């Protein structure tokens, strides 16, 4: 069985449509099995930086704690539905260990630091925080080693992010390489991990497959190939947890148009 934890966090986003992430999370929640779903109420306040370079730091810290607690309380592997990509920190914190690989299926690597981020938005720092770098209350200690990170369908880079990937030799799988479902499973197996957390930012998908994305990036992965790759990975390694984020539909009607695609991805994860 799978536990779903819906965390409609928007405070980590830099998008002008950030508040629509709440609508997106709630739309997804409406199609999840009620008995297996925990809904975390979104904080009413935006939060403040508290002297750091992370916008809305105070609220993000509270949400990290709530997500981590909810995942740890689950007797089954949990899928955390965001909200922005920052929800992945609490989800991974709850299951972290030196046998865990983190698969980051995302158009953006989210590997900025508070110092290098052009926006100060935590969503763009989430994977770097999981790797153990960043503000003290918004990072994993010890972090997941870069050798156990696998980036998938990543195609929108900032200079600091590229430098970090090159310096650490992090595996990057292009969207077109997912035509073979073995590519992802082989890459994760090569890390030596015995469990995996899979993060899916819906902007990893090609804009032809999904419309409710605030920052769409062309030339993304096809849904069928992402689904097949996740299923093949799960045949090779147990899934310790997952996150699915960044659904920001422009209206309730538009949300309905995308839910079929989203539920296919969730089905592969669950």
Structure tokens at 138: 């918004």
> Can you give the pTM of this predicted structure?
0.97
Tens of pLDDT, residue by residue over 243-266, are 999 999 999 889 999 999 999 999
pLDDT of 156 strictly over 90: yes
Which residues share a beta bridge with 195?
100
Strands in 171-173's sheet, in edge-to-edge order, are 37-39, 3-6, 78-81, 239-245, 195-201, 100-105, 149-152, 171-173
pLDDT of 221 strictly over 90: yes
Closest CA to 52 of 144, 142, 108, 134: 134
**CA 226, CA 55: separation in Å to the nearest integer?**
32
Cβ neighbours for 83, distance < 8 A, ≥ 6 positions apart = 7, 8, 9, 10, 12, 21, 22, 25, 42, 245
Which residues share a beta bridge with 78?
3, 241
- The number of C-alpha atoms within 13 Å of 191 and in the hemisphere containing its C-beta is 29
- The confidence band for 44, taking pLDDT boundaries of 50, 70 and 90, is confident
């Amino acid at each position: 069985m799978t536990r779903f934890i819906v965390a409609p966090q928007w405070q980590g986003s830099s998008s002008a449509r950030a508040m629509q992430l709440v609508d997106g999370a709630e739309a997804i929640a409406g199609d999840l099995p009620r008995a297996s779903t925990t809904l975390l109420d979104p904080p009413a306040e935006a939060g403040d930086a508290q002297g750091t370079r992370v916008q809305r730091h105070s609220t993000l810290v509270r949400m990290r704690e709530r997500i981590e607690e909810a995942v740890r309380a689950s007797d089954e592997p949990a899928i955390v539905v965001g909200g922005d990509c920052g929800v992945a920190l609490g989800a991974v914190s709850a299951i972290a260990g030196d046998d865990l690989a983190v698969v980051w299926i995302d158009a953006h690597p989210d590997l900025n630091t508070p110092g290098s981020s052009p926006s100060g938005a935590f969503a763009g720092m989430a994977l770097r925080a999981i790797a153990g770098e960043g503000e003290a209350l918004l990072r994993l200690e010890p972090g997941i080693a870069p050798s156990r990170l696998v980036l998938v369908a990543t195609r929108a880079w900032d200079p600091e992010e590229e430098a970090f990937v090159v310096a650490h030799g992090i595996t990057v799988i292009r969207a077109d390489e997912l035509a073979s479902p073995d590519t992802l499973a082989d890459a994760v197996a090569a890390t030596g991990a015995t469990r995996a957390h899979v993060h899916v930012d819906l902007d990893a998908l090609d804009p032809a497959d999904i419309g409710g994305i605030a920052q769409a990036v062309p030339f993304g992965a096809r849904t069928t190939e992402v689904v097949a790759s996740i299923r093949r990975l799960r045949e090779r390694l147990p899934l310790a947890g997952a996150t699915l984020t960044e659904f920001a539909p422009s209206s309730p009607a538009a949300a309905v148009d995308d839910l079929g695609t989203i539920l296919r991805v969730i089905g592969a994860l669950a």
